[in-house]
Amino acid sequence: MPQLRVAMRKIREILRLAWSCGQSRKAIAVSCGVGKTTVTDTIARAAAANLSWPLPDLDDEALERLLYPLTIHPVIRVAEPDWSALHNELTRHKNLTIMLLWQEYKQSNPSGYQYSHFCTLYNRWHKKLDLSMRQEHRAGEKLFVDYCGQTIPIVDASTGEIHEAPVFVAVMGASNFTYAEATWSQSLSDWIGAHVRTFAFLGGVPKAVVPDNLRAAVTKACRYEPKINTTFAEMGAHYGTAIIPARVRRPKDKAKVEVGVQIVQRFILAGLRNRTFFSLAEANAAIRERLEKLNTRPFRKLPGNRLSRFLEIDCPELLPLPSSPYEFAHWLKARVHIDYHVEVKDHFYSVPHRLRGELLDVRLTEKAVECFHGSISVASHQRSFLKGKHTTCGEHMPTAHREYAEWTPERLIKWAGTMGPATAAVVEEILSRRAFPEHGFRSCMGIISLAKQFTPQRLEAACQRAVVIKGSSYKSIKSILINNLDSKPLPRQLELLPVSHGNIRGTDYYSK
């Protein structure tokens, strides 16, 4: 089931980029990390199922049944092109392209090879095919982003310490309209914040963002299937744009921003070289002044300037900004414990108890924590910064009418009793201190697991000491065992046995 959900999430993203963002097949393939034929097949299946964007309210299983019905397809013979004749055509006509030849082939053979396979077969026949990519920048289509190699120094007025702040640069492909700002670092939060401010500066959103393969953008660089950072991809979806990383070791893919970086370094940073800045805001105010001069500076060989060309060419084609800016979020993985809680930044949040043992995706913002099982949101909580505490929703707890006998306080106490009465007393005391006994399950399981590392006899001796010193906790008992205090005489040992405690029921109780 988890593999099915991942596949369906990728299919939904393919359809969004194709029908909502208007991206090409190759761009979608790069962004989603799939083959171009997979993109073509997915779009064709969705069209055959009479789907449109936005998709109707379908779960993953229903969408799979629509796109992949259980049918038996007849075997179709594909007409083999005359590769020798095609090669001669390409040789005679200078401006003829293999794309046009493929289109003519498909007109006469509708069930013939798709373009990518057509090129592969021709390449195999010809042994050599020039795949040099020609860059064409269309209005409002691409925004190229990167960091400058040069930084801008920020001086701490109180200590005199100098912090080198990196400079973010964004360039529109068609108009060369440029945005730049200094950030404290190249971390994910600063990277996302720079994009949010860039879109606000543009007053709209380009159809695609082309970053280099820096860590904040791409978690795994690959020429064919780069893995885009989850938060960065979510930001792209929020703004309705596609994230298409530049290919590794392909300078033509990022030539536009590299020139923009060079211009920012020479015109903006060099122009500010003699100024001293004591805050990031002060530095960005100076950068904005120089940036305005750069965008209104006349071109040497073309009429107008970056701003006028942006307003004329790019601006009318930009996508509208969403109603609210993107809120930065971390994505984490967390497994549901037997107490139906997940641990996020040392705090415990409840999820539906039926998900015990499942691995969830957790979206963490400054104000909220949201848990996903596949593509479905299963729990949402206000974020808490109290370490070691629990946030529990009553709806997530099992009701009295549901079968919930696998893990109970009674079972944990009885299991601890197999180590000895003191171990059972410690477990019972821990559970009694919690508003919900389930909140103590993790601590009790940890205590019982110490028997594997230190033997049950030593654990029982350590729990006897913990009862005397009133240190009934996992950390206290583990410390006793690590420091071999369980082998030393107990304080006031004569008063320990028998111990007068309401939670200790005697050995006879646990031998039943």
* Residue-range domain boundaries for the chain: 2-67, 83-126, 142-317, 330-396, 409-510
Q: How far apart are CA 375 and CA 9, in angstroms?
A: 7
- The structure tokens listed for 148 are 């400058």
pLDDT reported for residue 225: 52
Q: How confident is the model at residue 289 (pLDDT cuts 50, 70, 90)?
A: very high
Q: What is the pTM of this model?
A: 0.52
> 335 - beta bridge partners?
359
Task: Say if residue 491's pLDDT is above 50.
Answer: yes
pLDDT reported for residue 243: 87
Q: How confident is the model at residue 200 (pLDDT cuts 50, 70, 90)?
A: very high
pLDDT reported for residue 485: 83
The answer to which of 115-129, 217-231, 362-376 has the lowest mean pLDDT is 217-231
Task: Say if residue 130's pLDDT is above 70.
Answer: no
Q: How confident is the model at residue 162 (pLDDT cuts 50, 70, 90)?
A: very high
For residue 322, give the H/E element and its range: none
Is the distance from CB of 58 to CB of 51 less than 8 angstroms?
A: no
The answer to which of 85-99, 100-114, 238-252 has the lowest mean pLDDT is 85-99
Omega before residue 56 within 30° of 0, cis? no
pLDDT reported for residue 205: 93
Q: How confident is the model at residue 179 (pLDDT cuts 50, 70, 90)?
A: very high
What count of other Cβ atoms lies within 10 Å of the Cβ of residue 80? 10
Q: How confident is the model at residue 254 (pLDDT cuts 50, 70, 90)?
A: low
Q: pLDDT tens-digit profile of 479-489?
A: 888 888 877 88
Task: Say if residue 217's pLDDT is above 80.
Answer: no
Residue with tokens 């082939």: 105
Task: Say if residue 335's pLDDT is above 50.
Answer: yes
Is the distance from CB of 460 to CB of 480 less than 8 angstroms?
A: no
Task: Say if residue 101's pLDDT is above 90.
Answer: no
Q: How far apart are CA 180 and CA 170, in angstroms?
A: 6
Could you tell me the CATH superfamily of domain 142-317?
A: Ribonuclease H-like superfamily/Ribonuclease H (3.30.420.10)
Q: How confident is the model at residue 497 (pLDDT cuts 50, 70, 90)?
A: very low
Q: How far apart are CA 487 and CA 483, in angstroms?
A: 10
Task: Say if residue 192's pLDDT is above 60.
Answer: yes
pLDDT reported for residue 503: 56
Q: pLDDT tens-digit profile of 295-315?
A: 999 877 667 888 988 898 888
Give which of 298, 293, 258 is closest to 272, Cα–Cα.
Answer: 293
Q: How confident is the model at residue 389 (pLDDT cuts 50, 70, 90)?
A: confident
**Average pLDDT value over all residues in the chain:** 79
Q: Percent of the chain scored above 90 by pLDDT?
A: 14
Ordered DSSP codes for 355-370:
GTT-EEEEEE-SSEEE
pLDDT reported for residue 2: 41
Q: pLDDT tens-digit profile of 421-474?
A: 888 888 888 777 776 666 667 778 888 888 888 888 888 888 888 888 888 888
pLDDT reported for residue 131: 30
Q: How far apart are CA 214 and CA 147, in angstroms?
A: 9
Mean pLDDT value of segment 493-505: 50
pLDDT reported for residue 4: 43
pLDDT reported for residue 64: 83
CA 319 vs CA 192, 240, 322, 449: distances in Å: 18, 8, 9, 56
